[in-house]
Structure 1
């Protein structure tokens, strides 16, 4: 997995990491305590140094806030108030501040002020058809296979002409993704409420020309910035690589629309930007775009109330939050992994299995905190290759729970395409109820089984 920083929580910001991978390289995530507010977990988390996210109680005057910040020695860095916060009745938002002291030292001082509802570090997160596509025909795509009993059985669905729908959208919260890739361009979604290139915020979400999504790390409309966006591109290919085109790979769904919310950069991603990314897709859903789910192949940091609240806003809008269980080989029931351990009902937490049905050596698990297993070891998918000046379409094999997660996101898209109007709860139930019992997952996840889309 790669590392992500959160603008919302200071001391924990540097501890959030991508749940997935470098090529042939498995990274681990920080362990977390079973207590969501465990200081041991948060103390070990990566955070943005000298930053805090502060939530003031309703009704606190501007002068009082200024007084408190002055006593803390804090400087305002950003007021985070998304459209979705306002729609939920929160007109206060969250305040990101810079401090002259370490985040955890500052946290203890915030307890002296009754006007503060909560304060937290700005955590850092990191990554964790019959087809004529070459990587399928040569057997590389075992995760899609019906010949391998431990694959997702997507090939069985393809054979029954169940290949997805362009009316279904999946949001990729990750790095950017290469929407011009030869195996992705046909499935690259656009924001229908925005007019490209006119420099105007047509849809009123505060972002200009967010046609393919938005880069919250760079604060611009460029959702693909080169070969460094390999993780997000790999995830995209597993969800919706174009099938039957004689090129490369095939995703779980051959027809789908993908949109990007880039919040992971070269140093990872922050809580602050994760919140904005989640709210971005919630806003599009409320506006009428059929956002079925977001794929979240990242993790790290400690408990964030602000991020949990954002996930709940997505839940209220009917958007699934499908996320990686983590790569720390640990029991998430005992040692919490975020965001997969949040209690929101729209979360599906995904463990990784191998091509022989075993729980991947790196994969975290949890009888009550992880929902299902899916292919995550040696997964071939799309990546950008070349140099900064010359980027071309390529393919690579990665491993991680980051790779397992998009199999489930693709499954959500497939079910939604076959059952228009299905609610998020119905889609989640269908995915979990269709899981195939698997010995390596018995007692290791809620279903005790692995992803199987053949009966959708």
Structure 2
């Protein structure tokens, strides 16, 4: 059983920092220890793992540093904890040799083996020590002890001091000397340790078959076995939330069985409708739509007919009930399901438009769509495109409903057929999640298309039986109770097969579902979990978090760095990780941050006035947090200046921290709007919040206070991205959106198909974040350009991306 997969390296309040030396070994050749108050806690060094903290002036690529020291980086597993700190593991002899050979390297501040306690907790050490002095210990006594032990104070607050040992110093030994001095309440290294999240394993009877949620390498259908951890980490995510009944997932599909034993408690109830009075009580145009609507038969019974179990299958994956000792569990088992029934056959496009509009207009937070058309044209049916756009922009009171579409099952990779993303999964609408399928081994499913339009993947079955012998559907979900549906099987090669064939209400479940149809509601359910924690997320927030927290699995070409997230044509940004996605929302909820510009109260003329800004943090979590924080000032010219930097900052549970800072704006500084950006970085996620002020010519005092007191930090994009313009085709204007992960010089230009420059929309330094610009169809002289196709190109350093747009007059 895995407790958590997402490793959070936290600078905990049992804090320790060390470099490897023989000082403590001389004190006791057989024992390493630290003090927890007056108690000695024994530590055992691990020979196959170590921590390197680089000197601040020697920040380097670890691969380069290892090669310069005659070590092959390929011999080790290197994990970057922050820009100066690395965890290295590998063969014990090679790691020990590396540790000994680099202990005097001038680029290294400290290095130590990773230690382990008797309880099995691994603890890393850098250069840092946490010390809280006893009451009555004077500042002079503290300073004398600091000098005698060769440490410097990195940060000091009301509660404790964070110290740093000298180059090649031993933080473990030095921390013990502080404790043994009799002056400290506690003193220990600033340990790097793994914070565990406690997973929830449900008691649903067939949960052990749901490898997409929890893959332990178990035996699956047809004798296949999974790969450990090739899953979405559902039990870990459930440690945060199992969903909220206030969040509604619309299953736009073949219908949902309202009285299903694993769904009935989670069926959405229209709060504005009185059952069976034959009146449209809520005036939404649908009479007695208590539990959704049937758009095939135009009535209020959205249940499936015949063997049409596809909608049930999707509903079960998204939000089947949990811990009821039967059946399966959905990824969001406490959320509600809104049944919106379609018919998969020949019928008018208007029905699909009505279904989409019904969902978002009646409060659906997430729309799951495991359907499409056999066409790769992204503009196939404009009426459907506009309905989707309404959902993403007007749904949830303007925050936008999250819309998920299955990419298609059009590929057959063993036959060299890459397939295509079908309409409407290929629409050019920001934030729509196009969902591909991975398999039980974290590889691209054989039928899942390869395309640059893929955003995210989720686990489903590996291949269809007519593609690869011995393969077939293997996703377990709900079925129409009794004989109808998929259990027993109705088609070869599973005709007459009962799967499952035993268990409580076993005829109400099936083990033969799959495709991107199964992947899509899994992604929709993860989005519902996120909104359950924070219903104020926009649909674009949800898209950004899901894509930036995905696991880069499989042997695919993901290019990128910490700030520039890679994307592959096989699995998009990767296989979705529910735990990672929910975790970042959870952190945003618990870590409140505000950046304020108080109203200035002094009166000019003053040659130089300081700008005062306040920073406020509140840790509402029940665990300690540690992060790096810094503030950047962006001038009206676009120049960016770092004016505050704190490399390591911690908050205890419930702790509130505030500080007032100031900087100088001289009278001759450029007039215009200045932006302050507060960044928060825990080594995994980069978040920010902003405040702005305006400056008049010749004046140094801020004129306008545009403070930002946010209760949630916004996530920065981790990839440079140029989105498809919208609308497209357009007349008279269109919006082009682009994402910039780091402040820097960019250009965004319009060209005709002959490669001639038509107009420059953006040129210069822009801040990190999501941006948009409007092109009004004019050239650089302001003249209207002719109808036709145009190219727009975004360039930033080595990044170049071009897209096509069409102007219709």
What is the aligned counterpart of 1:380 among 476, 481, 486? 476
What is the aligned counterpart of 1:141 among 175, 200, 210? 210
Measure the CA separation in 2 of the matches of 1:135 and 1:371.
Answer: 30
The residue aligned with 2:527 is 412
Measure the CA separation in 2 of the matches of 1:360 and 1:376.
Answer: 8
Cα contact 1:352–1:404 (8 A) shared by 2: yes
Cα contact 2:272–2:282 (8 A) shared by 1: yes
What is the aligned counterpart of 1:314 among 391, 398, 412? 391
Task: Provide closer, same or farther for how the CA distance between residues 410 and 182 of structure 1 changes in structure 2, counting only shifts above 3 A.
Answer: same
Alignment of 1:55-454 (within 5 A): 129-136=200-207, 139-145=208-214, 147=216, 148-158=228-238, 160-265=239-344, 267=345, 270-284=348-362, 289=363, 291-302=364-375, 303-317=380-394, 318-329=400-411, 335-367=420-452, 369-377=453-461, 378-387=474-483, 393-440=508-555, 442=557, 443-445=568-570, 447-454=572-579
Q: Secondary structure at the match of 1:165?
A: coil
Cα contact 2:254–2:304 (8 A) shared by 1: no
The residue aligned with 2:778 is none
Q: Deviations over 1:343-385 (max 9, x none)?
A: 1113100001110111111111312x11011012121000114
Task: Provide closer, same or farther for how the CA distance between residues 397 and 132 of structure 1 changes in structure 2, counting only shifts above 3 A.
Answer: same
Q: Which stretches in structure 1 are left out of the alignment for 5+ residues?
A: 1-128
- Ranked by relative contact order (alpha carbons within 8 Å, sequence separation 6 or more), the top structure is 1
User: What TM-score do you get using the length of structure 1 for normalisation?
Assistant: 0.66
Give the superposed CA RMSD: 2.3
Cα contact 1:146–1:155 (8 A) shared by 2: no
Q: Deviations over 1:62-101 (max 9, x none)?
A: xxxxxxxxxxxxxxxxxxxxxxxxxxxxxxxxxxxxxxxx
Measure the CA separation in 1 of the matches of 2:570 and 2:336.
Answer: 30
Q: Secondary structure at the match of 2:212?
A: helix
The residue aligned with 1:27 is none
Measure the CA separation in 2 of the matches of 1:198 and 1:388.
Answer: 31
Q: Deviations over 1:34-89 (max 9, x none)?
A: xxxxxxxxxxxxxxxxxxxxxxxxxxxxxxxxxxxxxxxxxxxxxxxxxxxxxxxx
Task: Provide closer, same or farther for how the CA distance between residues 445 and 418 of structure 1 changes in structure 2, counting only shifts above 3 A.
Answer: farther
Q: Which stretches in structure 2 are left out of the alignment for 5+ residues?
A: 1-199, 217-227, 395-399, 462-473, 486-504, 558-567, 583-809
Shift of 1:130: 0.8
Task: Provide closer, same or farther for how the CA distance between residues 336 and 452 of structure 1 changes in structure 2, counting only shifts above 3 A.
Answer: closer
The residue aligned with 1:114 is none
Q: Secondary structure at the match of 2:293?
A: strand
Shift of 1:452: 0.2
Task: Provide closer, same or farther for how the CA distance between residues 325 and 441 of structure 1 changes in structure 2, counting only shifts above 3 A.
Answer: farther
Measure the CA separation in 2 of the matches of 1:293 and 1:309.
Answer: 17
Cα contact 2:409–2:419 (8 A) shared by 1: no
Measure the CA separation in 1 of the matches of 2:288 and 2:456.
Answer: 37
Shift of 1:396: 3.0
Q: Deviations over 1:244-280 (max 9, x none)?
A: 1111101101100110111125x36542211110010
Measure the CA separation in 2 of the matches of 1:282 and 1:216.
Answer: 15
Q: How many residues align?
A: 317
Task: Provide closer, same or farther for how the CA distance between residues 398 and 151 of structure 1 changes in structure 2, counting only shifts above 3 A.
Answer: same
Task: Provide closer, same or farther for how the CA distance between residues 214 and 307 of structure 1 changes in structure 2, counting only shifts above 3 A.
Answer: same
User: What TM-score do you get using the length of structure 2 for normalisation?
Assistant: 0.38
Measure the CA separation in 1 of the matches of 2:304 and 2:323.
Answer: 28
Cα contact 1:263–1:270 (8 A) shared by 2: no
Q: Secondary structure at the match of 2:387?
A: helix
Q: Deviations over 1:386-429 (max 9, x none)?
A: 3579x962333212100000110000000001112111111111
Measure the CA separation in 2 of the matches of 1:393 and 1:441.
Answer: 38
Measure the CA separation in 2 of the matches of 1:296 and 1:415.
Answer: 19
Q: Which runs of 4+ in 1 moved over 4 A?
A: 330-336
Task: Provide closer, same or farther for how the CA distance between residues 445 and 348 of structure 1 changes in structure 2, counting only shifts above 3 A.
Answer: farther
Q: Deviations over 1:193-242 (max 9, x none)?
A: 11111101111121101111111111111100444331000000000011
Cα contact 1:371–1:445 (8 A) shared by 2: no
Task: Provide closer, same or farther for how the CA distance between residues 249 and 336 of structure 1 changes in structure 2, counting only shifts above 3 A.
Answer: closer
Q: Secondary structure at the match of 1:384?
A: coil
Cα contact 1:436–1:449 (8 A) shared by 2: yes
Cα contact 1:383–1:395 (8 A) shared by 2: yes
Task: Provide closer, same or farther for how the CA distance between residues 217 and 357 of structure 1 changes in structure 2, counting only shifts above 3 A.
Answer: same
Q: Secondary structure at the match of 2:244?
A: strand
Measure the CA separation in 1 of the matches of 2:526 and 2:357.
Answer: 23
Cα contact 1:381–1:396 (8 A) shared by 2: yes
Shift of 1:167: 0.7
Cα contact 1:346–1:425 (8 A) shared by 2: yes
The residue aligned with 1:53 is none
Q: Secondary structure at the match of 1:420?
A: coil
